[in-house]
Amino acid sequence: EIVLTQSPGTLSLSPGERATLSCRASQSVSSSYLAWYQQKPGQAPRLLIYGASSRATGIPDRFSGSGSGTDFTLTISRLEPEDFAVYYCQQYNSSPPYTFGQGTKLEIK
């Protein structure tokens, strides 16, 4: 089973700043089968990025994903007030299980 480790656990930033979130896999994630989700309190997760770098439908271009192999990054170029939430990475390699990272909480400084 592939274990995903996200860092930092909590990130405190101000609106307008740049956010960089990391996700490291215990073994290579093939074909960049890596996704990022945003979750706000009381809501279901929302898909932001799939294939490590492709934005899902309707996702603003301030969100971008990068990386390959075992190291992946989600970048939010200029934080908007609605971006403060918890972010999860997920690997969906060619066969299950499809594991999630433990999450990074992005909070207002």
Question: Which residues are near other proteins by CB under 8 A?
Answer: 1, 33, 35, 37, 39, 44-47, 49-51, 54, 56-57, 88, 90, 92, 95-103
Beta-bridge partner residues of 72:
23, 67
Beta carbon nearer to other proteins, 35 or 76: 35
Q: Which residues contact 47 (CB under 8 A, 6 or more apart)?
A: 35, 36, 37, 56, 59
d(CA 32, CA 52): 5
In the bound complex, what is the minimum distance in angstroms from residue 88's beta carbon to other proteins?
A: 6
Beta carbon nearer to other proteins, 58 or 81: 58
